[in-house]
Amino acid sequence: MLQRLRLFLLSCGGAGLLLLVLCLGAQNLNERRAIALGIGRTAPLPTGFIVGVSAVLGVLSGGSLAAILLPEKQQ
């Protein structure tokens, strides 16, 4: 149980740090695009920010899934 919690917190911390660096790096990007959703459009965001957010979500979901699927130790 402790190993699962440690792995989950490590993945959340890593994703948070990646998101922080991504937000700091996206400050000076000039080319901005809006994403067309089914019912509307998003705010204009830099393309690199959109790709980076998907990478951060991948790190977070992968770490969470690894923590859930980690086998328990047999005593």
- Residues 2-26 have pLDDT tens digits of 888 898 899 999 999 999 988 888 7
pLDDT of residue 62: 92
Instruction: Kindly indicate the confidence band of residue 75, based on its pLDDT and cuts at 50, 70 and 90.
Output: low
Long-range contacts for 11-18 (Cβ within 8 Å, ≥24 apart)? 11/59, 11/60, 11/62, 11/63, 11/64, 11/66, 11/67, 12/60, 12/63, 14/59, 14/63, 15/56, 15/57, 15/59, 15/60, 15/63, 18/52, 18/55, 18/56, 18/59
